[in-house]
Amino acid sequence: MKKESILSDQAPAPVGPYSQAVKAGGFLFLSGQVALDPATGKMVEGDVVAHTRQIMANLEGVLQAAGASLADVVKTTIFLTDMGDFGAVNGVYGEYFPENPPARSCVQVAALPLGAPIEMEMIAVL
């Protein structure tokens, strides 16, 4: 099976040996994103709502670089350091998927890169 790495300047550059996304077998697998501003490389300021909005913008940029959109997303995984943030994150998330939302998992984790309160990854169909 052929695979193709995707790189977008609309999302933070990878800081390790991974791709922002990989196309394979008719799917697009997007790596987890925290709320880094791609222009500065720094974590955005603000609460989990601000972080969620930046993450969604980053993921949209990667989707667009691959010729896809949020409408093509079939699965998301959300990682939270505090499940108490679930309601706030869910509210923002729902704005991006108002109809026919993808399947989703949400789990609490002990810690995320750079002390982020949230990380999100996606799978899209191409």
22, 49, 106, 112: the active-site residue: 106
Sign of the dihedral through C-alpha 15, 67, 103, 45: positive
Annotation marks residue 27 as catalytic: no
How far apart are alpha carbons 115 and 99 in whole angstroms?
32
Sign of the dihedral through C-alpha 31, 81, 73, 49: negative
DSSP annotation of 124 reads E
Q: In what order do the strands lie in the sheet with 118-125?
A: 3-6, 21-24, 27-33, 118-125, 73-80, 103-108
- Which residues are the active-site residues? 106
